[in-house]
Amino acid sequence: MDRSGRVTTLRVARRPFPIPGMPSSSSSSSSSSDAAGAAKEERKAPSPEELPLVSEDKIELALQQQRKQQMKVLCENAPVWEYQTVRVPLEQLAKVSRQIQRQLEREVQQQLLLLQNLPKRQTKEKLDANQLASALEAILTRLQSIRSKLEDIKQVEKKLITKSIQRCKHLSSISALALPAEGKGALEKQHKEIWNWHRTRLDRMIAEYMARKGCIKAARLIVTDSNLQDLVDVDVYQTLQQISESLTKQNCQPALKWCAENRLRLKKINNNIEFNLRVQEFMELVKKQERKQAIEYAQKNLTPFVLLSSSSSLGVSSSSLSSSMSLSSSMSRSLGSSVGNLAKSSSDSAGASTSLIDDPEEAKRNMKLLQRALASLSVPVSLIASPQNPYRDMFCEERWTTLRQQFEKCFFDANCFNPNPLLTSNLAFGIPALKTKKCGKEYNRNCPTCQKNFKRLGSRLPYALKASTKIVCRLSGRLMNEDNPPMVLPNGQVYSLQALQQMALENGGEIICPISQKQFPFSQVTKAFIV
Amino acid sequence: MCEPVNAELLFQNLGETLDASYVQVSRTLDDLIQQVQRTVEGIRAVQDEESLVQTNQRAVKAVKDLAQKTSKGNHLQNVSQTRKELQQAITKASKELDKSDAAKIVPKLDVESTTASPLLEKVIAEHLYTQGRFEIADQFLQESNIDPDSVEDREAMRDMFKIVSDIKLMNLDLALSWVSGDNSNGLSASKKRSLHFMLTKIQFLKMLHEGLKKEAIDFSRRSFTPFMSSHLPEIQRLMASVLFVNPETIAAASSSPSSLSPPSAMIQRIQSQYKDLLEPIDWNDVAMNFARDYCQAFGLSENSPLFLCVTAGITAMPVIQKMSSLSKEGAWIGEKKLLAEVDLGPDYQFHSIFTCPVSKDNASDKNPPVLLKCGHVICQQSMLKLTKPPFRRFK
């Protein structure tokens, strides 16, 4: 009995079923149970020689059927992942459309105004026919130039739509491959095309992953190599990378520029990144001890985030602004007055100052942060770096990292990207489906989860549930099933019927167990019934 | 299910709306331009016997008329309206896409852990190495600040691709030197011999196909000797084929059946015996077989593990989603085991698993499967449980 503990080694419960005619080597103690067992066992398993030869074709056919089923599943499930692929260009189109609309309206309105003001101008400046004609001609030229540029502008939007349609076509090509193929070589060809589509998909996901991690050059290399031009939004990721880099270098300007361009969208997704960026710039001024500039900055750039747009109700009253600050040091008294001025001037110009906030809840939240920021003005220089600084969190460098992460998240949200790269999401589903407790212990070089890196990647992911028995024959590498059942050798080793039959044919009815090198006649193997 | 077909329709409709809106805008602009132009022409056209004052008066009147007309006319509104309609169409399309099932599925998973980062980069690099895309992989590692040499099997893959690309260019020298050298000792002796023989045979055939009979015979004298004991029948066949396999017969054999001169009886006989040797050598196939054996020698997997995982994920996703719909979103990730079985098909079966029909447990070292007299197999623990009451026999 083999004690290796492998699944394909069965420990024989009693002793091997006594072969009629062969001297039984059983000891007398269990002979009675043997007899009982033998009596019970009326339905004898057919002797191995009686079993029909397992045909290669039958096995292949069964395998093919299973493969066909799996391929179908692969085709049908693939497009489900592609929300981002299809949604992103639509969002880009929306943005570009808005810009174009503003531009067109502005230009046309401008010229119309000029036209309508012309009579007034004429009376005022006493223009004669010639001058009037020239003025009109200027307007005419401008209108004509708008008209001629219309085609170019249209192409900008059209290109995005074409790109989207390309992507949709690419995605529906896989659904089309789910349909059954007719014809002799057609099935093979279809399977090849399915694998190719999936390889392209993997390339797309790798390109996206690289672009997300900022490796733009590598991403572009893949896009060119695999012809993924319209399918991956590397340009958008590059914009993100540039802004991210500047945030790492502690420069908020590109990020603020982006926020200004995308304010409408930011409002919809309810993200206060712009305010946080402004606060950070304020803190940098405080760190540099430029207190006066800091206060001016706050007045100009921070107050719009705490005041509501309706002048009738201020999100914050000037008194609460100054009173909620508990300032103790003498320096803070003077600061307190300047803060009070800040509040006063804001409330004075409440109607005139631009407000960027509509939601009173948001105004309240921003207010809290503003108070902390302003309060940090009162921290004396010597105390800034010390652990006793109550506003330590406002001064620490980690704020930049958090800010950058928040910006990235906001960027993805605004552009309708998935928050995680598709590749990691996909692996999160794939690794558990493959992971078994055996992986690594019984190393199979073809098993992905046996690989060291994958094991570590999936260390926190769940194991797969295997509710049915699947045994792989160690001789032929084939799965055992009813057509190719497992057979037990007298030494407990198990192999598939087909492999044993083959071996018996080649060796004149003898089986040589590859593990133990023992030889047995074919008649000594018994069938095991595995459910 | 995100239905790309519907999405395609969505976009096509958007395209049409876009076209229509631009037609409208250009028409509006054209109209405005026309009006202004007419006015200008009217002013510039000096009538005979018209005094300067009269011209000026006429001009002023024309301008006033124009101003009035344009203020009443709705050019700006037209432009705005049509653009607004376009915007609305876009918003509507966005909402439709957002409503689809696909929007709900993927984003909720939060698997990104900081330790995974250099790992996944290495995995991607390995995958690219298996595809032979060394420049891309190296560029990627460089941009991610990872040392390329920390990726295992890089050199092995590099060498393999060198040999494989040579094979595809019909050059077997590197392959032959690899297989006869020490590097191929990862293969079993018989496998090594059969690979060596296969390559030698292809080399021999290549010479025959090029008509280099003498060289082929010399080559065979040198190279076939080690295989005399193992592959004698095949060698005999190959030597005999020297008489029959040459560029002429190959050309004659490959001529299409519908050609004017059907192959002679002689050619047909040759074809029946040596069909496989007359066919042009499929170098891609040779390369693939070589790559497979090379991977076996080094213990590398045949398919890229990343590709297998990703395709497994596609099959697994709906099953897992369904399973997790009963509990909290994304909670299944923290579990020890998946609650539903994912059937990945025969190609993804790498380990043997035994599930006891009685207890539904998986077999392990401590709980091995056990063969009963009747031939059925259950887990040892199940068997012990069933035999606990003092029966000697049990069903």
Per DSSP, the three-state class of A325 is: coil
B337 touches A453 (CB < 8 A): no
Q: Say yes or no: B384 contacts chain A, CB-CB below 8 A.
A: no
**Residue in the block written with tokens 């003025």:** A135
ipTM > 0.85 for the complex: no
Indicate whether this model's pTM tops 0.90.
Answer: no
Q: How far apart are CA A260 and CA A276, in angstroms?
A: 14
Are B67 and A84 an interchain contact pair (Cβ–Cβ within 8 Å)?
Answer: no
DSSP state string for A359-393? -HHHHHHHHHHHHHHHHGGGS-GGGTTSTT-TTHH
Are A7 and B315 an interchain contact pair (Cβ–Cβ within 8 Å)?
Answer: no
Are A460 and B143 an interchain contact pair (Cβ–Cβ within 8 Å)?
Answer: no
> Which among A198, A383, A369 has a CA at the least distance from the CA of A272?
A369
B66 touches B35 (CB < 8 A): yes
Tokens of A418: 């998935």
Binning pLDDT at 50, 70 and 90, where does residue A20 land? very low
**Interfacial A residues in 381-440 facing B (CB < 8 Å):** 418-434, 436-439
- Chain A positions touching B94 (Cβ under 8 A) are 87, 90-91, 94
Q: How far apart are CA A206 and CA A427, in angstroms?
A: 12
- pLDDT, tens digit (0-9, with 9 covering 90-100), for A380-423: 777 777 777 778 888 888 889 999 999 999 999 899 888 888 88
Contacts of residues B38-47 at CB distance under 8 Å and 24 or more positions apart, as own/partner, are B39/A136, B39/B63, B39/B65, B39/B66, B40/A133, B40/A136, B40/A137, B40/A140, B43/A129, B43/A132, B43/A133, B43/A136, B44/A133
Query: Which residues touch B2 (CB under 8 Å, ≥6 apart)?
Result: A79, A80, A82, A83, A86, B97, B100, B101, B102, B103
A463 forms bridges with which residues in the sheet?
Answer: B337
Q: Say yes or no: B83 contacts chain A, CB-CB below 8 A.
A: yes
User: What's the one-letter identity of residue A274?
Assistant: E
Binning pLDDT at 50, 70 and 90, where does residue A253 land? very high
Tokens of A97: 């459309």
Q: How far apart are CA A463 and CA B352, in angstroms?
A: 15
- pLDDT, tens digit (0-9, with 9 covering 90-100), for A203-221: 999 999 999 988 999 999 9
Are A198 and B311 an interchain contact pair (Cβ–Cβ within 8 Å)?
Answer: yes
Interface mutation vs chain A, best among B51, B310, B386, most A CBs within 10 Å: B310
**Interfacial A residues in 317-346 facing B (CB < 8 Å):** none
Q: For residue B95, give the chain A residue with the closest CA.
A: A87
Q: How far apart are CA A307 and CA A318, in angstroms?
A: 11
- Cα–Cα distance list, A393 to A299, A396, A402, A407, B380 (Å): 22, 5, 12, 19, 60
Q: Which among A97, A165, A452 is the nearest to B8, CB-wise?
A: A165
Are A447 and B136 an interchain contact pair (Cβ–Cβ within 8 Å)?
Answer: no
Q: For residue B67, give the chain A residue with the closest CA.
A: A116
Q: How far apart are CA A172 and CA B5, in angstroms?
A: 6
Q: Say yes or no: B278 contacts chain A, CB-CB below 8 A.
A: no
Other beta carbons within 10 Å of A475: 15
Q: How far apart are CA A499 and CA A26, in angstroms?
A: 30
Q: Which among B5, B333, B339 is the nearest to A428, CB-wise?
A: B333
- Chain A positions touching B140 (Cβ under 8 A) are 210, 215, 218
Interface mutation vs chain A, best among B14, B288, B295, B311, most A CBs within 10 Å: B311
Q: How far apart are CA A453 and CA B304, in angstroms?
A: 13
Percent of chain A topping pLDDT 90: 18
Are B90 and A90 an interchain contact pair (Cβ–Cβ within 8 Å)?
Answer: yes
Q: For residue A157, give the chain B residue with the closest CA.
A: B18
In our burial notation (b when 16+ CB lie closer than 10 A, e otherwise), range B164-202 reads beebeeeebeebbebbeeeebebbeeeebbbbbbbbbbb
A479 forms bridges with which residues in the sheet?
Answer: A472
Helix (H) or strand (E) holding B377: strand B377-379
> Which among A527, A390, A473 has a CA at the least distance from the CA of A16?
A527
- Chain B positions touching A419 (Cβ under 8 A) are 107, 110
Q: For residue A529, give the chain B residue with the closest CA.
A: B376
Q: How far apart are CA B266 and CA B253, in angstroms?
A: 11
**Residue in the block written with tokens 């299944």:** B332
Q: Report helix angle B154-168 to B283-298, nearest 10.
A: 160
Query: Which residues touch A523 (CB under 8 Å, ≥6 apart)?
Result: A19, A47, A48, A49, A509
- Chain A positions touching B299 (Cβ under 8 A) are 445
Interface mutation vs chain A, best among B1, B6, B9, B11, most A CBs within 10 Å: B11
Q: What Rg value do the Cα atoms of chain B yield, rounded?
A: 39
Q: How far apart are CA B322 and CA B338, in angstroms?
A: 12
Tokens of B215: 């060289």
Tell me, what's the pLDDT at A321?
Answer: 47
Q: What Rg value do the Cα atoms of chain A yield, rounded?
A: 38
Are A82 and B102 an interchain contact pair (Cβ–Cβ within 8 Å)?
Answer: yes
Indicate whether A318 pLDDT > 50.
no
> Which among A281, A223, A206, A221 has a CA at the least distance from the CA of A251?
A281
Q: How far apart are CA A165 and CA A188, in angstroms?
A: 29
A488 touches A468 (CB < 8 A): no
> Which among B122, B177, B169, B173 has a CA at the least distance from the CA of B145?
B122
> Which among B183, B25, B360 has a CA at the least distance from the CA of A101?
B25
- pLDDT, tens digit (0-9, with 9 covering 90-100), for A450-461: 888 888 888 888
- Chain B positions touching A413 (Cβ under 8 A) are none
**Residue in the block written with tokens 């028995």:** A469
- pLDDT, tens digit (0-9, with 9 covering 90-100), for B17-52: 999 999 999 999 899 899 888 888 888 887 777 788
A244 touches A408 (CB < 8 A): yes
Interface mutation vs chain A, best among B6, B131, B373, B376, most A CBs within 10 Å: B373
Other beta carbons within 10 Å of A1: 10
Q: Say yes or no: A249 contacts chain B, CB-CB below 8 A.
A: no
Please tell me which of A32-41, A298-307, B137-146 the model is most confident about, judged by mean pLDDT: B137-146
Phi, psi of A9 (to 5 degrees): -110, 120
Q: Which among B29, B70, B341 is the nearest to A146, CB-wise?
A: B29
Binning pLDDT at 50, 70 and 90, where does residue A468 land? confident
Q: Say yes or no: B242 contacts chain A, CB-CB below 8 A.
A: no
| DSSP-derived secondary structure letter, A303 | G
Q: How far apart are CA B337 and CA B332, in angstroms?
A: 8
A521 forms bridges with which residues in the sheet?
Answer: A510
Q: For residue A446, give the chain B residue with the closest CA.
A: B301
Are B60 and A122 an interchain contact pair (Cβ–Cβ within 8 Å)?
Answer: yes
Indicate whether A292 pLDDT > 50.
yes
Are A67 and B380 an interchain contact pair (Cβ–Cβ within 8 Å)?
Answer: no
Q: Which among A105, A217, A225 is the nearest to B79, CB-wise?
A: A105
Interface mutation vs chain A, best among B18, B350, B362, B385, most A CBs within 10 Å: B350
Query: Which residues touch B114 (CB under 8 Å, ≥6 apart)?
Result: none
**Residue in the block written with tokens 């492998």:** A6
DSSP state string for A201-215? HHHHHHHHHHHHTT-
Phi-psi region of A159 (alpha: psi -120 to 50; beta: other; left: phi over 0): alpha
Q: Which among A83, A139, A463 is the nearest to B337, CB-wise?
A: A463
Tell me, what's the pLDDT at B273?
Answer: 78
Q: Say yes or no: B353 contacts chain A, CB-CB below 8 A.
A: yes
Are A430 and B86 an interchain contact pair (Cβ–Cβ within 8 Å)?
Answer: no
Helix (H) or strand (E) holding B369: strand B369-371
Are A472 and B136 an interchain contact pair (Cβ–Cβ within 8 Å)?
Answer: no
Tokens of A299: 């007045």
Q: How far apart are CA B273 and CA B256, in angstroms?
A: 19
Q: Say yes or no: B339 contacts chain A, CB-CB below 8 A.
A: yes
Other beta carbons within 10 Å of B155: 11
Q: Which among B348, B352, B360 is the nearest to A434, CB-wise?
A: B348
Positions of chain B with pLDDT under 70: 1-5, 101-116, 255-263, 329-330, 388-395
Please tell me which of A130-134, A349-353, B113-117, B264-268 the model is most confident about, judged by mean pLDDT: A130-134
Per DSSP, the three-state class of A511 is: strand
Q: Which among A5, A98, A169 is the nearest to B368, CB-wise?
A: A5
Q: Would you call B34 exposed, middle or buried from its count of C-beta atoms within 10 A (0-12, 13-18, 19+)?
A: exposed
> Which among B34, B28, B41 has a CA at the least distance from the CA of B73?
B28
Q: Which among B94, B347, B352 is the nearest to A8, CB-wise?
A: B352
A219 touches A238 (CB < 8 A): no
- Chain A positions touching B116 (Cβ under 8 A) are 424, 457
Query: Which residues touch A52 (CB under 8 Å, ≥6 apart)?
Result: none
In our burial notation (b when 16+ CB lie closer than 10 A, e otherwise), range B128-137 reads bbbbbbbebb
Q: Say yes or no: A253 contacts chain B, CB-CB below 8 A.
A: no
Mean predicted lDDT score pLDDT of chain A: 78
- Chain B positions touching A168 (Cβ under 8 A) are 4-5, 7-8, 11
